[in-house]
């Protein structure tokens, strides 16, 4: 099999199972936390709080990037498929006029914030490299699909827009107005998963530091908020018309 076909095949495989990526992070984070030396941060609590705020802001930035991309996208574009490559329209305006894969950039910041919260430099570097290799294959497969689907229109656009690092020199206002309903309908699970991930990391840091499996009040509050947030929005999405939009996915 030619290398180009190998890349595309592996990219499609990783695309279908990209939802398992957070689970891998959970499993690997536990031993990383166990073997990380936190004595310096315990000695300088200001540094610890600063890194914590920085980690949360990174994840917030990732969610914000995803929100901008999803909230201004055409219906049935490549940004909403979950099992296979699907696209009936090509996004070329708004955030898609600054980079070709804003959702994956958003994913990186969202998850690297959680990884930063482990306070392990090597884990941050290794996960960043693995993320790039992992998503590079997925982006390759997606772009092959879009090239076959849209032909010269896609090629002309892709030649002027960077893949992952934004460039604003060709910025064009989004053709679709931003919809907050779309964000609530489609991103509630990701927001909840991010909150739960921070609680997960915090729980194991406390466990290994104290030797006691105690859930703090803050952790409990955040867990309750995350679960209720998901349950309420999921119910509104599936059992009411409150979040329904005729022209949105």
86-141 pLDDT per residue, tens: 556 788 889 999 999 999 999 999 999 999 999 999 999 999 998 988 888 888 88
Q: What are the beta bridge partners of residue 77?
A: 89
Question: Is 112 contained in some domain?
Answer: yes
Residue 216 structure tokens: 């703090």
Question: Is 111 contained in some domain?
Answer: yes
State the pLDDT confidence band at 193, using cuts at 50, 70 and 90.
Answer: very high
Question: Is 170 contained in some domain?
Answer: yes
Please compute the mean of the pLDDT values over residues 216-221 and round it to a whole number.
Answer: 96
Burial 20-51 (b: 16+ CB within 10 A, else e): eebeebeebbeebbeebeeeebeeeeeeeeee
Which pLDDT score, from 0 to 100, does residue 77 have?
A: 62
List, in order, residues 6 or more apart from 148 with CB less than 8 Å away: none
- The percentage of the chain sitting over the pLDDT mark of 70, rounded to a whole number, equals 90
- d(CA 240, CA 229) in angstroms, rounded, equals 16
Lowest mean pLDDT among 99-103, 156-160, 201-205: 156-160
- Residue in the structure block whose two tokens are 């867990």: 223
Which pLDDT score, from 0 to 100, does residue 92 have?
A: 83
Question: Is 35 contained in some domain?
Answer: yes
List the one residue out of 203, 205, 185, 186 whose CA is nearest residue 195.
Answer: 203
Residue 134 structure tokens: 């992992």
Q: What are the beta bridge partners of residue 128?
A: none
Question: Is 190 contained in some domain?
Answer: no
By residue range, what is the domain housing residue 119?
3-177
Question: Is 36 contained in some domain?
Answer: yes
Which pLDDT score, from 0 to 100, does residue 124 have?
A: 96
Look at 79 and 162; give whichever has higher pLDDT: 162
Residue 20 structure tokens: 């398992």
- Residue in the structure block whose two tokens are 């600063």: 50
Query: Quick one: 89 exposed, middle or buried, by C-beta within 10 A (0-12, 13-18, 19+)?
Result: middle
Question: Is 46 contained in some domain?
Answer: yes
Question: Is 129 contained in some domain?
Answer: yes
- Number of domains, the chain: 1
Residue 142's CATH number: 1.20.120.1630
Residue 26 pLDDT exceeds 60: yes
Look at 9 and 160; give whichever has higher pLDDT: 160
Look at 74 and 109; give whichever has higher pLDDT: 109
Q: Beta-carbon neighbour count of residue 153 at 10 Å?
A: 13
- d(CA 195, CA 113) in angstroms, rounded, equals 11
């Amino acid at each position: 099999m030619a290398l180009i076909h190998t890349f595309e095949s592996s990219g499609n495989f990783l695309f279908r199972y990209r939802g398992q990526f957070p689970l891998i992070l959970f499993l690997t984070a536990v031993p990383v936390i166990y073997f990380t030396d936190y004595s310096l941060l315990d000695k300088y609590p200001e540094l610890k709080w600063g890194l914590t705020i920085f980690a949360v802001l990174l994840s917030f930035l990732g969610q914000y990037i995803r929100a901008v991309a999803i909230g201004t996208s055409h219906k049935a574009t490549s940004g909403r498929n979950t099992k296979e490559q699907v696209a009936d329209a090509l996004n070329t305006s708004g955030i898609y006029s600054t980079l070709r894969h804003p959702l994956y950039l958003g994913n990186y910041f969202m998850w690297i914030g959680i990884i930063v919260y482990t306070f392990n430099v090597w884990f941050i570097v290794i996960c960043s490299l693995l993320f790039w290799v992992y998503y590079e294959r997925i982006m390759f497969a997606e772009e092959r699909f879009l090239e076959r689907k849209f032909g010269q229109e896609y090629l002309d656009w892709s030649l002027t827009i960077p893949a992952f690092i934004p460039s604003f020199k060709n910025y064009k206002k989004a053709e679709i107005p931003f919809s907050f309903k779309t964000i609530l309908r489609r991103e509630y699970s990701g927001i909840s998963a991010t909150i739960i991930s921070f609680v997960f990391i915090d729980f194991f840091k406390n466990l290994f530091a104290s030797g006691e499996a105690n859930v703090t009040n803050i952790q409990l509050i955040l867990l309750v908020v995350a679960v209720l947030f998901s349950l309420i929005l999921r119910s509104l999405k599936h059992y009411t018309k409150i979040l329904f939009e005729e022209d949105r996915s």
